[in-house]
Amino acid sequence: MIRNINKLLKKEKEKKPPVQNNQEDSKPQDVLYHSFDQNIEIFRSIYQNCSDAMFRSFLLFGQKRAMIIYIEGLSDIEGIENFVLTPIMQITLDESQSLNEFLENKMPVSKVKKVKLVADCIESISNGNPILLFEGELNGYSLGLAKWEKRSIEEPVAEGGIRGSREGFNESLGVGTSLLRRIIKSPALKMQGMTIGSYSRTNVVLAYIEGVADKTLIDEMTNRLKRIEIDGILESGYIEEMIEDNPYSPFPQIMSTERPDIACSSLLEGRAVILVEGTPFSLIAPISFFSLIQSHEDYYQRFMIGTTIRWLRYLFFGVSLLFPSLYVAILTFHQEMVPAQLLLSMAASREAVPFPAIVEALLMEISFEALREAGVRLPKQIGAAVSIVGALVIGQAAVQAGLVSAPMVIVVAITGISSFMIPRYIAGIAIRMLRFPIMLLAATLGLLGITMGIIAIALHLCTLRSFGVPYLSPLAPLKVRELKDVLWISPLWKMDTRPRLTGESNVYRQSPGQEPGPKKGGDTE
What is the pLDDT at residue 233?
94
pLDDT at 397: 80
Shared domain check, 430 and 389: yes
DSSP H helix total and E strand total for the chain: 18, 12
Distance from C-alpha of 317 to C-alpha of 420, rounded to nearest angstrom:
9
Of residues 468 and 97, more confidently modeled: 468
Give domain status of residue 478, yes or no: no
* Cα separation, 272 vs 21, whole angstroms: 28
Residue 251 has pLDDT above 90, yes or no: yes
Is there a single domain that holds both residue 315 and residue 462? yes
Say if strands 112-115 and 140-143 run parallel, antiparallel, or are unpaired: antiparallel
pLDDT at 229: 93
The torsion of the CA quartet 251, 255, 259, 262, rounded to 10 degrees, works out to 110
Prior bond to 477 cis, omega within 30? yes
Coil, helix or strand for 54? strand
Cα 314 vs. chain centroid, distance in angstroms? Answer: 23
Whether 518 is covered by a domain: the verdict is: no
pLDDT in tens, 416-461: 888 888 888 888 899 999 999 999 999 999 999 999 999 999 999 9
Least confident interval from 16-30, 309-323, 405-419, 498-512: 16-30
pLDDT at 388: 67
Mean pLDDT, rounded, for 312-339: 91
Give the lowest-confidence range in 164-173, 289-298, 345-354, 405-414.
345-354
- Number of structural domains (the chain) is 3
Cβ atoms of 368 and 391 closer than 8 Å:
yes
* 456 and 310 both lie in a single domain: yes
Q: Which of 234, 258, 287 is the last residue of a domain?
A: 287
Mean pLDDT lowest among 105-119, 295-309, 429-443: 105-119
Q: How far is CA 447 from CA 326, 380, 403, 410, in A?
A: 7, 41, 25, 21
**pLDDT given for residue 19 in this prediction:** 41
Percentage of residues of the chain with pLDDT beyond 90: 44
pLDDT of 8 higher than 50: no
Percentage with pLDDT > 70 across the chain: 88
**Residue 337, pLDDT score:** 86
What gap in Å lies between CA 90 and CA 85, rounded to an integer? 8
> How far apart are alpha carbons 72 and 83 in whole angstroms?
17
What is the reported pLDDT for 262? Answer: 93
Per-residue model confidence (pLDDT) at position 256 = 94
Task: Confirm whether 511 is domain-assigned.
Answer: no
Low-confidence winner among 55-69, 199-213, 236-250 (lowest mean pLDDT): 55-69
C-alpha span between 87 and 82 (Å, rounded): 7
Quick check: is 159 in a domain? no
- Residue range of the domain that includes 41: 24-143
- With respect to residue 165, please indicate whether it lies within any of the assigned structural domains: no
Is residue 250 very low, low, confident or very high in pLDDT (cuts 50, 70, 90)?
very high
Q: Which of 485, 21, 29 is nearest to 288 (CA)?
A: 485
With a cut of 70, say whether residue 107 has pLDDT above it. Answer: yes
Euclidean distance between CA atoms 359 and 442, whole angstroms = 12
Model confidence at 70: pLDDT above 90: yes
331-387 pLDDT, tens digit per residue, is: 889 888 888 888 888 888 888 888 888 998 998 888 888 888 877 777 766 666 666
Q: Are residues 316 and 445 in the same domain?
A: yes
In angstroms, rounded to a whole number, what is the distance separating the alpha carbons of residues 279 and 285?
17
Rounded Cα–Cα distance for residues 140 and 132 (Å): 6
**For 223-251, what is the mean pLDDT?**
93
Comparison of pLDDT for 400 and 307, the residue scoring more: 307
Whether 317 maps to a domain, the answer reads yes
Q: Are both 464 and 321 inside the same structural domain?
A: yes
Residues 280 and 322 in one domain: no
Kindly report each contact of residues 91-99 with a partner whose C-beta sits within 8 Å and lies 24 or more positions away, as own/partner: 91/60, 91/61, 92/61, 93/61, 96/60, 96/61, 96/64, 99/60, 99/134
More confident residue, 14 or 380: 380
Q: Are residues 112 and 203 in the same domain?
A: no
105 and 218 assigned to the same domain: no
What integer pLDDT is reported at residue 385 of this predicted model? 65
Indicate whether 319 and 464 sit together in one domain: yes
d(CA 220, CA 213): 12
Q: Are residues 263 and 338 in the same domain?
A: no
pLDDT in tens, 159-205: 877 888 889 999 999 999 999 999 999 999 999 999 999 999 999 99
pTM value?
A: 0.85
What is d(CA 4, CA 473) in angstroms, rounded to the nearest whole number? 14
The chain-wide mean pLDDT, for the chain, equals: 85
Final residue before a domain boundary, out of 256, 287, 318: 287
With respect to residue 150, please indicate whether it lies within any of the assigned structural domains. no
Q: Is the pLDDT of residue 476 over 90?
A: no
| Neighbour-count burial of 438, counting CB atoms closer than 10 A to its CB (0-12 exposed, 13-18 middle, 19+ buried) | buried
Residue 282 sits in the same domain as residue 310: no
88 shares a domain with 32: yes
With the C-alpha atoms ordered 333, 337, 340, 344, is the resulting torsion angle positive or negative? Answer: negative
Question: What pLDDT is attached to residue 503?
Answer: 65
**Residue 332 contacts residue 357 (beta carbons within 8 Å):** yes
Q: Is the pLDDT of residue 491 over 70?
A: yes
Q: Is the pLDDT of residue 93 over 60?
A: no
Q: Do the domain assignments include residue 386?
A: yes
pLDDT band at 508 (very low <50, low <70, confident <90, very high): confident
